[in-house]
A and B are shown apart, each in its own frame.
Chain A
């Protein structure tokens, strides 16, 4: 199978790789580029663990072919912390015990980031809706919802 070139921006850095045609973005990120923050859960579009942000939109990297992302701006949870300081969402997830096994966490945080980027002061219903494509088998969701609401409050206080 011929390899195809892919080039995109990942968390602000230019990346270029050759991948086999038909390689998913999830596979390219984890096994080619080494960003293991998106997780391969179901590979069926059901669990949301592989969620990444492509050109500002939440998408599932397990159902996206890498070669369709040429020129795209891709963000993953691995790129959120700046200079070793956790992003408010990451801090809130830790503080609220919203991470147990941690497998769903990067996808949850990506879904929450898209929400807070567009809706800085979300309602609880907004948060539930935003996370509705992400499955967690540990927490029962409530700590995650509280973490997102806490991060939103922290953001608005910082902005005030």
Chain B
């Protein structure tokens, strides 16, 4: 292997170095070193930033800011982030969670990127030196993004309003068949007033279930009332096919698991 690694103390200097061709950013290593081990010769140079601020978790009231180098293990173990712990624990086994970062998960291709699906449901903001943008916009343009992600920010959901499900064939941990993150606001009688639902493995990156979100408005979470929302779950999806499941299978089981999550 011939990978030149350079370490910078500031994101600004690293951003400049990242513009060179063949250069990738090294976070936890679970994507880029994996690619290099697999023989991806497009990677010739790595850069990283050792600014401790990138590993900081800040919870102020209901506002959360996660540095891009915060690991899944750090999120899963943080007492103020219990609502997100199931999504962080869904990533890999213990060793991977000690390495995999928030920033890296935003770039993880399906079937990976379960945590990014949670961030999409939470309408998180992605922060770079160039400014901030909604995670939905970021995900759509991530292939051409050349600015280092420094943090993500979002409002902490209430325990009742945020739900997350990862489906895998191997228990307790396996690659995603699919993942679903749902942020639901409901009135006292249980009527849905807003819904934001993100799906993993239903495209090459997390996407929103826009038709389902719309169909859920005004519904109570009963089998009868959510039936139209489940029927709409397939709109706009383009599931991946991999050794774990075919696109057809993923599309078939999506409404089943979405229904279970909504009725749970």
Contacts and interface: CB of A to CB of B under 8 A. Distances in A.
Interface in B42-79: 46, 48, 73
A1 B3 CA distance: 8
B37 interface: yes
A58 B94 contact: yes
B4 interface: yes
A22 B5 CA distance: 6
A153 interface: no
B252 to A, nearest CB: 26
B128 interface: no
Interface stretch (B28-36, B139-147, B204-212, B213-221): B28-36
B95 interface: yes
A57 B34 contact: no
B262 interface: no
Contact of B26 (A23, A60, A65): A65
A51 interface: yes
Contacts of B34: 43-45, 63
Contacts of B172: 128-129, 132
B33 to A, nearest CB: 4
Interface residues of A, number: 33
B157 interface: no
Interface string B79-114: 000000000000011111011000000000000000
| Range, interface on chain B | 20 to 34
A1 B2 contact: yes
Given A23-B1, A43-B37, A64 B29 contact: yes
Contacts of A130: 94
Nearest to A132: B173
Nearest to A2: B4
A111 B96 CA distance: 12
Interface in A7-48: 20-24, 27, 43-45, 48
A77 interface: no
A114 B94 CA distance: 10
Contacts of A67: 5
B160 interface: no
B130 interface: no
Interface in A66-87: 67-68
Given A20-B2, A24-B1, A65 B95 contact: no
A21 B3 contact: yes
B189 interface: no
Interface string B158-179: 0000000000000011000000
Interface of A: 1-2, 4, 20-24, 27, 43-45, 48, 51, 57-60, 62-65, 67-68, 111, 114, 128-134
Given A4-B5, A133-B95, 12 more contacts: A20-B2, A21-B3, A22-B36, A23-B1, A24-B33, A43-B37, A43-B38, A44-B37, A45-B92, A48-B95, A63-B33, A129-B94
Interface of B: 1-5, 26, 28-30, 33-34, 36-38, 46, 48, 73, 92-96, 98-99, 172-173
7 contacts: A21-B2, A21-B3, A58-B95, A59-B99, A62-B37, A67-B5, A114-B94
The 8 closest A-B pairs by CB, nearest first: A133-B93, A22-B3, A132-B173, A43-B37, A63-B29, A58-B95, A63-B33, A132-B93
